[in-house]
């Protein structure tokens, strides 16, 4: 009954629309094969490339781009959204995307941005309780040549199949077009409204299979170690019937169960796949980048290496059986969970053609494996790491460290990383950090004390996050954004009674330990009010800044070109205008300025075309020649030289894509932030010069 009601509401709405059929007529009118180039999956293809061979927009004219149309997402929910992350799809002149605090699906005319149809499920308490609200990263498209479907996962974790022409649920799929993903999950979810699971990523659709991952609340302060398990499932694209389930936390008797000592696999959860799944249709393999088990910074309830936590797993596309796996971090306690879509690249290593899978990471390593066998292409050495002293924690004595390519983003914070524009700034930075622990990659978390608040690190939001990387399939070069200054301090404290059954959660000595919210959690259209924070407003630990400047050296954010043919970094550039508060700082001005620093953000995804790499900025800046806003920049693929930039009134908050309709190339940038609510900006060249 709970399920039927919202569906009925949705059906009523779409029936009302159907009576007039404007949606279908509009969609048919917008559909064209004239001068069309499509972008049919979240990452352009199932290999994760974010590559388009289009070249109408190139180095010579990028600066001439202008806004062709814009689509504001405010009306797609009970309130505007300020965190629009969806990458739209383009199919034969029609744009499909999710948007808004309701995570509605819309179809737009690709040439004009006109709304053709809209669909949304109103899920009430179930969406209010979701750990993953807001518009999500996008949706998926499937066709068998006749039927054309749009597939997406709602805020309340339902898989929906819509007719691409009308926006109506497909009656042959699931129950009236909907599959309840909280059922048939190989575990008891309890109350379907409150059972904790959701997902932001777009489904991976290959052949007849839809592969769906799972995501949970932020793991800083989980309620219980025995959280929902993030199993990965495949569903039949026509019927919605479950085809297989891969147990990311093995069940008794399954491979890997013994890597959870004391049978702790039975009482731990998470270990989901919240980022995009990539698929090699020729090899018949799906690649799962699995996140950490519960909880992010304390693993005392799960002694052992914890397969398949923080592993890259290749499973059979048809059966879900594991073919190979590689655990990138044993017994993870840094929130360095796998964040990026696997990049399935064909390269030439030492004169031999190789089918490889590359994986960018938060920890600044770019891992490369033979994607048929899982063998590292270059040695990945088990390396001794520091053992911590958190009571009750279990530590892996070694961690795998790639020998090639070199580290492409800051993955530790040590004295050498601290700000040193002037000797005085460096001195102050050392004074400040004396209250914290510094160290290289895999420096273990500590219990927070008044003497040492925590470990300063670039963990949770550093390196490469959910936007992942991109690559050029012709050259074998990957282009990856990374944050080098997304630093924070992490310490552990016992939670107050009733907050968690985990002995230690994230907290700061002298401050009350409170629940930390995750991306979009409690922020959706149906969310209720939060409780007050006890004791908030007290003086906290010092900010991680020196005289108002960032604690660590630039670059704050970079794009790296990683040549996967030989495991080298071909070039690296600071991406993003130097932030105003740095550029205009009296110390910096007295120095006569500094080279562009890039920006501290994890929201940047890249787009690769025939000749350029394109990415926008995520922070507002104001310079002498333009008002407050952000720039969309293009870089030469071979050299990294900036070849053009165009003004955006708002900041990029999702990954850009490109397509062509009527012989005209467009670039869509999802934007939001600050006082600017979600808006898709479509850029194209002027019709007349």
Partner 1 sequence: MKIALPILFAALGLAGAALAQSAGKSVWQGIYTTEQADRGAGVYAQRCGACHGAALNGTGEAPPLIGGEFVSHWDTMTVGDLYDRVRTTMPQNDPMSMTRDEYADVLAFLLKTNGFPAGVQPLDKRSEVLATIGITAEKPADR
Binding site for partner 1 (CB under 8 A): 79-80, 82-83, 218, 220, 511-512, 514-523, 527-533, 535-541, 543, 545, 548-549, 579-582, 584-585, 600, 619-622, 627-628, 674-675
What are the DSSP calls for 591-650, one per residue?
A: TT--S------S----EE-SSEEEEE-SS-EEETTEEEEEEEEEEETTT--EEEEEEESS
Residue 37 vs 545, nearer CB to partner 1 = 545
Q: Which residues of 253-287 are buried (b: 16+ CB within 10 A; e: fewer)?
A: eeebbebbeeebbebbbbbbbbbbbbbbeebbbbb
C-beta separation of 308 from 271 below 8 A: yes
Which runs of E-coded beta strand occur in 3-73? 66-72
Asked whether the beta carbons of 150 and 96 are under 8 A apart, the reply is yes
Q: What is the DSSP string of 409-444?
A: S---B-GGGB--SSHHHHHHHHHHHTTSB-BSTTPP
List the alpha helices (DSSP H) in 328-469: 423-433
C-alpha span between 401 and 397 (Å, rounded): 13
**Comparison of 315 and 525: residue with beta carbon closer to partner 1:** 525
Distance of CA 377 to the CA centre of its chain: 25
Q: What share of the chain is helix, strand, coil (3-state, %, to 5)?
A: 10, 35, 60
Query: What letter does residue 122 receive in the DSSP assignment?
Result: -
* Least distance between partner 1 and beta carbon 132 (Å): 11
Q: Do 158 and 179 form a contact (C-beta atoms < 8 A)? A: yes
Least distance from partner 1 to the Cβ atom of residue 454, Å:
12
Residue number with CB closer to partner 1 (241 or 589): 589
Secondary structure string (H, E, C) spanning 140-192: EEEECCCCEEEEEECCCCEEEEEECCCCCECCCCCECCEEECCCCCCCCCCCC
CB of 502 to partner 1, least distance (A): 17
Provide the minimum distance between the beta carbon of 253 and partner 1 in the complex, in angstroms, as a whole number. 37
**Residue 414, Cβ density class (10 Å: 0-12 exposed, 13-18 middle, ≥19 buried):** middle
- CB closer to partner 1, 286 vs 504: 504
- Beta-sheet pairing, 626-636 with 642-648: antiparallel
The span from the CA of 563 to the CA of 639, in Å, is: 12
Nearer to partner 1, 154 or 527 (CB): 527
Residue 607 and residue 652: Cα distance in Å, rounded?
A: 12
- Whichever of 259 and 600 has its CB closer to partner 1, that residue is 600
End-to-end alpha-carbon separation of the chain, Å? 59
- Surface-to-core class of residue 654, CB atoms within 10 Å of its CB (0-12 exposed, 13-18 middle, 19+ buried): buried
Nearer to partner 1, 650 or 655 (CB): 650
Least separation in angstroms between CB 220 and partner 1:
7
Phi, psi of 590, rounded to the nearest 5 degrees: -65, -25
Question: Between residues 89 and 630, which has the closer beta carbon with respect to partner 1?
Answer: 630
The CB-of-188 to partner 1 minimum distance in angstroms stands at: 28
- CA 338, distance to chain mean position in Å, is 10
Q: Is the CB of 439 or the CB of 522 nearer to partner 1?
A: 522
Note the maximum CA span of the chain.
73
* Residue closer to partner 1, measured from CB, 61 or 511: 511
Q: How far is the CB of 584 from partner 1 (least distance, A)?
A: 6
Residue nearer to partner 1 on the CB measure, 14 or 651: 651
Smallest gap from residue 541 Cβ to partner 1 (A): 7
Instruction: Decide whether 49 or 101 has the Cβ nearer to partner 1.
Output: 101
Of the pair 53, 548, the CB lying nearest partner 1 is at 548
Q: Rank residues 47 and 83 by Cβ distance to partner 1 and give the closer one.
A: 83
Do 654 and 86 contact (CB within 8 A), yes or no? yes
CB of 67 to partner 1, least distance (A): 15
Closer residue to partner 1 (CB): 286 or 485: 485
> What does 305-322 look like in DSSP terms, one character per residue?
--TTTTEEEEEETTT--E
| Nearest-approach distance from CB 673 to partner 1, in angstroms | 8
Closest CA to 408 of 340, 343, 478: 478
The C-alpha atoms of residue 46 and residue 671 are separated, in whole angstroms, by: 24
Nearest distance from C-beta of residue 650 to partner 1, angstroms: 12
CA 135 to centroid of chain Cα atoms: 13
Nearest to partner 1 of 20, 538 (CB atom): 538
638: Cβ–Cβ under 8 A, 6 or more apart, which residues?
A: 570
Distance between CA atoms of residues 676 and 689, nearest Å: 30
Closest CB to partner 1 among 401 and 513?
A: 513
Q: Minimal distance in Å, beta carbon 511 to partner 1?
A: 6
CA angle 93, 95, 96 (to 5 degrees): 140
Tokens, residue 609 = 């075309």
Cis peptide before 555 (omega within 30 of 0): yes
Helix/strand/coil for 17 = helix
- In whole angstroms, how far apart are CA 284 and each of 19, 51, 209, 288? 43, 22, 11, 13
């Amino acid at each position: 009954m709970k399920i039927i009601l919202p569906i009925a509401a949705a059906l009523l709405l779409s029936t009302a629309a159907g009576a007039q059929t404007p949606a279908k007529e509009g969609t048919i009118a917008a559909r064209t094969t004239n001068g069309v180039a499509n972008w049919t999956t979240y990452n352009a293809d199932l290999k994760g490339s974010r590559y388009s061979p289009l070249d109408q927009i190139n180095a010579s004219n990028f600066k001439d781009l202008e806004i062709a149309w814009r689509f504001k997402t405010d009306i797609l929910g009970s309130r505007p959204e300020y965190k629009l992350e969806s990458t739209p799809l383009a199919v034969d002149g029609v744009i499909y995307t999710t948007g808004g605090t309701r995570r509605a699906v819309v179809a737009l005319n690709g040439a004009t941005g006109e709304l053709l149809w809209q669909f949304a499920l109103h899920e009430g308490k179930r969406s209010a309780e979701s750990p993953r609200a807001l518009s999500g990263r996008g949706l998926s498209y499937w066709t068998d040549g006749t039927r054309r479907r749009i597939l997406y996962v709602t805020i309340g974790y339902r898989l929906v199949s819509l007719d691409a022409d009308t926006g109506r649920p497909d009656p042959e799929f699931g129950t009236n077009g909907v599959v309840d993903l909280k059922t048939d999950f190989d575990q008891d979810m309890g109350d379907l409204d409150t059972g904790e699971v959701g997902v932001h990523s777009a489904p991976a659709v290959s052949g007849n299979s839809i592969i769906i991952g799972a995501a949970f609340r932020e793991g800083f302060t989980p309620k219980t170690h025995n959280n929902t398990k993030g199993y990965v499932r495949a569903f039949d694209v026509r019927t919605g019937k479950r085809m297989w389930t891969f147990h990311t936390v093995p069940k008794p008797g399954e491979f890997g169960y013994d890597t959870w000592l004391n049978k702790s696999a039975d009482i731990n959860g998470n270990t989901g796949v919240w980022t995009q799944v990539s698929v090699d249709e020729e090899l018949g393999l799906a690649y799962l980048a699995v996140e950490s088990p519960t909880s992010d910074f304390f693993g005392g309830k799960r002694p052992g290496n914890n397969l398949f936590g923080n592993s890259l797993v290749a499973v059979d596309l048809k059966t879900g059986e594991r073919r190979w796996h590689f655990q990138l971090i044993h017994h993870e306690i840094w929130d360095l969970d796998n964040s990026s879509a696997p990049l399935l690249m064909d390269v030439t290593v030492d004169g031999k053609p190789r089918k490889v899978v590359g994986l960018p990471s938060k920890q600044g390593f770019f891992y490369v494996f033979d994607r048929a066998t899982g063998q590292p292409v270059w040695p990945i050495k088990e390396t001794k790491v520091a053992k911590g002293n958190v009571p009750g924690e279990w530590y892996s004595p070694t961690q795998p460290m790639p020998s090639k390519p070199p580290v492409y983003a800051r993955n530790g914070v040590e004295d050498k990383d601290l700000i040193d524009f002037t000797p005085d700034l460096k001195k102050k930075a050392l004074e400040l950090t004396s209250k914290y622990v510094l160290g290289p990659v895999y420096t273990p978390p500590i219990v927070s004390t008044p003497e040492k608040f925590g470990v300063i690190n670039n963990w949770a939001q550093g390196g490469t996050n959910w936007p992942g990387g991109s690559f050029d399939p012709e050259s074998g070069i990957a282009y990856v954004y990374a944050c080098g200054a997304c630093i924070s301090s992490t310490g552990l404290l016992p939670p107050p009674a009733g907050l968690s059954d985990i002995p230690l959660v994230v907290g700061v000595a002298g401050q009350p330990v409170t629940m930390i919210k995750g991306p979009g959690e409690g922020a959706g259209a149906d969310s209720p009010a939060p409780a007050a924070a006890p004791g908030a407003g007290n003086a906290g630990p010092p900010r991680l800044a020196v005289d108002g400047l960032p604690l660590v050296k630039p670059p704050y954010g970079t794009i790296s070109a990683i040549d996967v043919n030989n495991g080298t970094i071909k070039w690296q550039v600071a991406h993003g205008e130097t932030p105003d508060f740095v550029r205009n700082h009296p110390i910096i001005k007295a120095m006569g300025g500094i080279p562009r620093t890039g920006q501290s953000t994890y929201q940047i995804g890249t787009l690769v075309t025939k000749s350029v790499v394109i990415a926008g900025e995520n922070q507002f800046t104001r310079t002498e020649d333009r008002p407050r806003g952000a720039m969309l920049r293009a870089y030469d693929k071979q050299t990294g030289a900036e070849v053009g930039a165009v003004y955006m009134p708002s900041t990029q908050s999702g990954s850009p894509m490109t397509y062509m309709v009527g012989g005209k190339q467009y670039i869509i940038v999802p934007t939001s932030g600050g006082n600017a609510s979600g808006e898709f900006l479509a850029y194209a060249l002027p019709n007349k010069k």
